């Protein structure tokens, strides 16, 4: 008999077939208040769990006594109880490698859109406001040769540095726990303190995962340290930024503009203060949202699950160190 797994997202037919070659698959479209009882029932037998994001909490894990591996088709894993999985010796695998360039492309579209006021001026043009030469109060800020600071130098940070440095001749600063030799060698990136990065960067690109350490790491104090012409880009996890402080900073001119793909609450409230500001570009968390990349993320998650359930490991096990300890 094939081992049983729970799949809690829609995936393409060929990927489902690949899973079915190995496992008996019980599929759900997300985990919701309506289907939770059925999901818990299916989990009683499941040796594997695969989907995208969570919450995959202790309550859910407790319903899965036979679970041996969890695989998520996402880079982020903040909605998983990793400590509980580790305690039970269960590897959690994520899929960051599949989305790096796609998210970096989107970050760059935010850099360009926020500085050159692309969305605001497109809206004004559509509203019939273009009467002659663009007036001086429609002018934006240059991108090329400006300094770009990256907070969180991971895979995506490196791909942003590549675009900025090779494409737009931008000097790169970065703040990260450890030195990134490749970013330094290939793109001349310079590691510095967060305060120096905030003070010297024209663009502050925040691509941090969410954890207790990163929650609200950028708030009122940090905005005050940025240039008044500075632009904040956020495309990792929303709660890393104190959104209320950001709204104030955008309103009172502490900073020039922001380009956002992620928020403290998603979807954001329909009356969010962000939606009333011209100097913010607001995207609906689409960093990885191209058809190809979403397929690639699913495909990597499928391979990751197969790898883990066959007792092997790879670079995508996020709790590898903790598993060794337990």
Report, in Å, the least distance between residue 28 CB and ligand 8YV: 15
| β-pair partners for 50 | 7, 71
Question: Shortest distance, CB of residue 287 to ligand 8YV, whole angstroms?
Answer: 5
Tell me the C-alpha distance between 34 and 238, whole Å: 27
Cα separation, 314 vs 248, whole angstroms? 44
User: Closer to ligand 8YV at the Cβ: 76 or 219?
Assistant: 76
User: Which residue lies nearer to ligand 8YV by CB, 90 or 95?
Assistant: 95
Select which of 117, 163, 180, 237 is catalytic: 237
| Closest separation in Å from C-beta 75 to ligand 8YV | 4
Helix, coil or strand: residue 218: strand
CA distance 287 to 212: 23
How far apart, in whole angstroms, are the C-alpha atoms of residue 322 and residue 257? 40
- Which of residues 198 and 235 has its CB atom nearest to ligand 8YV in the complex? 235
Q: Could you tell me which residues come within 8 angstroms of residue 84 by beta carbon, excluding any fewer than 6 positions away? A: 57, 58, 61
Residues forming contacts to ligand 8YV in the complex (CB under 6 A) are 52-53, 74-76, 99, 285, 287-288
Q: Is the peptide bond before 144 cis (omega within 30 degrees of 0)?
A: no
Catalytic residue chosen out of the listed positions 88, 155, 186, 285: 285
Q: Contacts by 70-75 with C-beta closer than 8 Å and gap 24+? A: 71/95, 71/301, 71/302, 71/304, 71/305, 71/308, 72/301, 73/9, 73/11, 73/294, 73/297, 73/298, 73/300, 73/301, 74/288, 74/297, 75/99, 75/103, 75/156, 75/209, 75/288
Mutual orientation of helices 100-116 and 155-162 as an angle, nearest 10°?
Answer: 50
CB of 296 to ligand 8YV, least distance (A): 11
Smallest distance, Å, CB 233 to ligand 8YV? 15
Q: Which of residues 92 and 189 has its CB atom nearest to ligand 8YV in the complex?
A: 92
Token reading at 193 = 């303190």
CB of 304 to ligand 8YV, least distance (A): 13
User: Half-sphere exposure (CA, 13 Å, Cβ side) for 262?
Assistant: 23
Q: Are strands 69-72 and 48-51 parallel, antiparallel or unpaired?
A: parallel
Q: Strand, coil or helix: what is 145?
A: coil
- Shortest CB 295 distance to ligand 8YV, Å: 12
Which listed residue (44, 221, 266, 315) is catalytic?
266
| Active-site annotation holds for 177 | no
Residues 6+ apart with CB under 8 A from 5: 19, 23, 24, 25, 26, 46, 47, 48, 49, 50, 305, 309
Q: Is 266 a catalytic residue?
A: yes
**Given the complex with ligand 8YV, which of 74 and 319 has the nearer CB atom?**
74
Residue number with CB closer to ligand 8YV (103 or 172): 103
Which residue lies nearer to ligand 8YV by CB, 39 or 99?
99
| Whether 285 is catalytic | yes
Q: Supply the residues annotated as catalytic.
A: 237, 266, 285
């Amino acid at each position: 008999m094939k081992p049983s797994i729970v799949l809690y997202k829609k995936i393409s037919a060929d990927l489902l077939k690949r899973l079915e070659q190995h496992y008996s698959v019980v599929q759900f479209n997300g985990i919701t208040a309506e289907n939770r009882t059925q999901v818990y029932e299916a989990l009683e037998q499941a040796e594997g769990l695969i989907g995208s994001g969570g919450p995959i909490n202790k309550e859910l894990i407790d319903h899965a006594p036979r679970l041996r591996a969890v695989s998520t088709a996402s880079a982020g894993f903040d909605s998983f109880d990793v400590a509980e999985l580790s305690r039970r010796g269960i590897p959690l695998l994520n899929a960051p490698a599949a989305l790096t360039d796609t998210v970096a492309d989107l970050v760059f579209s935010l850099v360009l859109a926020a500085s050159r006021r692309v969305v605001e001026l497109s809206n004004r043009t559509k509203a019939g406001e273009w009467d002659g030469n663009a007036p001086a109060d429609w002018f934006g800020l240059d991108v090329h040769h400006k300094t770009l600071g990256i907070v969180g130098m991971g895979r995506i940070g490196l791909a942003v540095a590549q675009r900025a440095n090779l494409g737009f001749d931008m000097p790169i600063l970065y703040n990260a726990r450890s030195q990134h030799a490749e970013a330094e060698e290939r793109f001349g990136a310079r590691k510095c303190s967060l305060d120096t990065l905030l003070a010297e960067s024209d663009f502050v690109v925040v691509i941090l995962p969410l954890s207790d350490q990163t929650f609200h790491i950028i708030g009122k104090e940090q905005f005050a340290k940025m240039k008044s012409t500075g632009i904040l880009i956020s495309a990792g996890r929303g709660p890393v930024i104190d959104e209320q402080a950001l709204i104030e900073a955008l309103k009172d001119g502490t900073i020039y503009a922001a380009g956002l793909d992620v928020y403290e609450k998603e979807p954001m409230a329909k009356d969010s203060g962000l939606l009333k500001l011209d100097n913010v570009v607001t995207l609906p968390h689409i960093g990885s949202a191209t058809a190809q990349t979403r397929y690639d993320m699913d495909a990597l998650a499928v391979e990751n699950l197969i790898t883990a359930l066959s007792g092997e490991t790879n670079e995508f096990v996020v709790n590898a160190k903790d598993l060794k300890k337990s």
